[in-house]
Chains A and B, each alone.
Chain A
């Protein structure tokens, strides 16, 4: 059980959180989220370009219009942490948050919206509490207010808990591990078929 792993799609996790928190953005999720899923540095790069005012005859305003980009960033953050092993990641969370400058220079995508293999043990209730704190801190670092950051962190953890429960139900029903993994991967692959390295995208602003 301890060696078991679940493949979680970044896009699927983010979509689930958006469905909970901003249902009005569900229909446009793909259009808004795709650049952030494709290129984890997109948010930071675009914001830096906009910081100079943008091209001529553009609005030149860097507005925080939708929740989806923030969700994509924090879910990528959470998945990256879980995939690496939450303990190691969360132990360094303070350094990671203050080290956003280093993140800017990190060019290679880490998930690109693809499925990430997460050890089932990392989805245990005790671990998810630490993930909640980490996600909330990340959201606040992105400029989200404390109340909204708490709601966002709850939603992310809620989605992860659902995934864990689904996994446990399958265990109890005696489904073979191979079949279970295959099903999970297939489900995840619907949104992001190409597995890739893990990612923590740049903040959107």
Chain B
């Protein structure tokens, strides 16, 4: 099946959004970082509580723990400090975007005002927007304001199109519907969350930089290379957040286009064709845009199936942010757990982060398979390579592990471990794609995706969760061994003398994961899912095509 005839039939709404998962990964990563930062700050500032003092095992030194109440309230205060600038920034920017505009009711555009009111009523929005004319918006439009009290701002040149009739009037309707689609999809809330995350990311990063510079200035062990590393991390982490947030906002624009143009696709195509003429076509700059490139936007308007296409860059972003989250969560759990619970932290981290990463990967692969009609081996290898680079690289970007005293962090850059990660991801990609391909053969229009997802998502979650738990445990143990072997007293330990600690640890990890019930569940999920999907497809084959096989939009 070619790309074009697929595009004409796919129900793009049937697919879960990989970018929404990517955004959730970003949110989890930033919020975990914020929490870590707040707790670290609280522990530094909290007074000691000597009513629960104990003697250290190494000698007669009285050890007073930090006051738990003060740590708790300090953590809340720290979170407040990190998150409030984003809230204030959003409120300020929203106010800027609606100031000095005149109400549409009092403007000379009476006919247009009536039409907009009718479109708002038809959209059945949770909160009706205040209608304004933005004199300097020209023929543009936007929604702004607090999410609970939205404002729809329209440019006078756009409003003038209403009275011109014909195609101009249809374009006017499409642009207004596009903006109302943002409100229907609660994009103002999403924009609010994106803004808070971006600001907190930058704020916490800047604070860490400040701390490192102070440390450097006081000669407390920090070196110029520490400073350089911290600066690089802050910049890259902030850039990572920005790239994901903007990719997410671009997807919202595509979605709003498709929803807004559902009633009049010709007008949507005409509006986009006219509206993007002369816009920048720079591919690199496109990553930092809030709106898709003109060519991409027109492409999706012409063939909505294009919205399913994935890119190596997007997969890399997803894997990188998961890498950050792996390291942050691992460090957080390790600090919170007692000695007995520490070994389980790698398992928990692997499952908690690996599961959404697996789903993100699966959704991206399935969406692209339906878009392209097939997935070649080259793409699978490239995907596994990109994910390996992302996870390994991202784990070294985590900010707060380094600053707060851990000397080594991140996925060990050991060839054996990297090869293991790559092979594991390649197998996962191949198996996930095979699941999708089996269903695609009998459902190229994606009319029965819910049934497929009901079967495939749990199976993928079990296999992916298990795989990442295994891989992360391997990585974290090697990390721990390297950390331990750096100490003088451990130099003679056999594992530290081993020429290939990665292989030795792999053996111990396999022994840890040899639980028969777990293995049975994983193998059952890996084998049964494709068989069931194939059987379901055979049962359906021969039946007439479902009459409600929808076109690409609505």
Q: Do A and B bind each other?
A: yes
Residues of A within 8 A of B (CB): 24-25, 27-28, 31-32, 34-35, 42, 46-47, 50-66, 68-69, 204-205
User: With A50-B138, A54-B290 known to touch, is A32 a contact of B253 (CB < 8 Å)?
Assistant: no
**10 A-B residue pairs with CB within 8 Å:** A24-B160, A31-B156, A51-B279, A53-B292, A54-B290, A56-B290, A57-B143, A57-B249, A61-B272, A61-B274
B139 touches A61 (CB 8 A): yes
| B178 located at the interface, meaning its Cβ lies under 8 Å from any Cβ of chain A in the complex | yes
A-B pairs, 7 with minimum CB distance: A61-B275, A53-B291, A58-B142, A65-B139, A60-B291, A65-B157, A63-B139
Q: Tell me the nearest residue of chain A to B291, going by C-beta.
A: A53
| B212 located at the interface, meaning its Cβ lies under 8 Å from any Cβ of chain A in the complex | no
B135-166 vs A, CB cutoff 8 Å, 1 = contact: the mask equals 11011111110000000000111111101100
A-B contact count (CB 8 A): 134
B227: shortest Cβ distance to chain A, in Å?
A: 34
Report B220-259 residues with CB < 8 Å from chain A CB. 249, 252-253
Residues of B within 8 A of A52 (CB): 279-280, 285, 289, 291
Residues of B within 8 A of A204 (CB): 138
A68 touches B138 (CB 8 A): no
Q: How far is the CA of A56 from the CA of B190 in the complex (A)?
A: 11
A59 touches B142 (CB 8 A): yes
Residues of A within 8 A of B159 (CB): 28
A177: shortest Cβ distance to chain B, in Å?
A: 39
A32 touches B160 (CB 8 A): yes
Q: How far is the CA of A135 from the CA of B272 in the complex (A)?
A: 29
B289 touches A34 (CB 8 A): no
Which residue of the partner chain, among A24, A46, A55, A56, contacts B138 with CB atoms under 8 Å?
A46
| B271 located at the interface, meaning its Cβ lies under 8 Å from any Cβ of chain A in the complex | yes
Q: How far is the CA of A56 from the CA of B271 in the complex (A)?
A: 18
Is chain B's interface secondary structure helix, strand, loop, or mixed overall?
A: helix
| B179 located at the interface, meaning its Cβ lies under 8 Å from any Cβ of chain A in the complex | yes
Residues of A within 8 A of B144 (CB): 57
Report B437-496 residues with CB < 8 Å from chain A CB. none
Residues of B within 8 A of A50 (CB): 138, 140, 279
| B182 located at the interface, meaning its Cβ lies under 8 Å from any Cβ of chain A in the complex | yes
Residues of B within 8 A of A (CB): 97, 102, 107-109, 133, 135-136, 138-144, 155-161, 163-164, 168, 171-172, 175, 178-179, 182, 187-188, 191, 194, 249, 252-253, 271-272, 274-280, 285, 289-292, 297
Which residue of the partner chain, among A51, A55, A205, contacts B290 with CB atoms under 8 Å?
A55
Interface centre among B135, B136, B139, B252 (most CB of A within 10 A): B139
User: With A28-B108, A63-B274 known to touch, is A53 a contact of B136 (CB < 8 Å)?
Assistant: no
Residues of A within 8 A of B277 (CB): 62
Q: How far is the CA of A99 from the CA of B107 in the complex (A)?
A: 38
Residues of B within 8 A of A60 (CB): 140, 253, 275-276, 290-291, 297
A66 touches B280 (CB 8 A): no
Which residue of the partner chain, among B136, B160, B164, B175, contacts A42 with CB atoms under 8 Å?
B136
Which residue of the partner chain, among A42, A59, A69, contacts B275 with CB atoms under 8 Å?
A59
Residues of A within 8 A of B136 (CB): 35, 42, 46
User: With A24-B160, A59-B179, A61-B275 known to touch, is A66 a contact of B139 (CB < 8 Å)?
Assistant: yes
User: With A50-B140, A55-B97, A57-B142 known to touch, is A63 a contact of B133 (CB < 8 Å)?
Assistant: no
Residues of B within 8 A of A55 (CB): 97, 142, 290
User: With A34-B135, A35-B135, A59-B142 known to touch, is A28 a contact of B275 (CB < 8 Å)?
Assistant: no
User: With A35-B135, A53-B290, A65-B160 known to touch, is A59 a contact of B276 (CB < 8 Å)?
Assistant: no
Q: Tell me the nearest residue of chain A to B141, going by C-beta.
A: A59
Q: How far is the CA of A29 from the CA of B188 in the complex (A)?
A: 32
Q: How far is the CA of A79 from the CA of B161 in the complex (A)?
A: 28
Given contacts A52-B279, A57-B187, 16 further A-B contacts (CB under 8 A): A24-B160, A28-B107, A31-B107, A31-B135, A32-B157, A50-B279, A51-B278, A52-B291, A54-B142, A60-B291, A60-B297, A61-B274, A63-B140, A63-B158, A63-B161, A64-B274
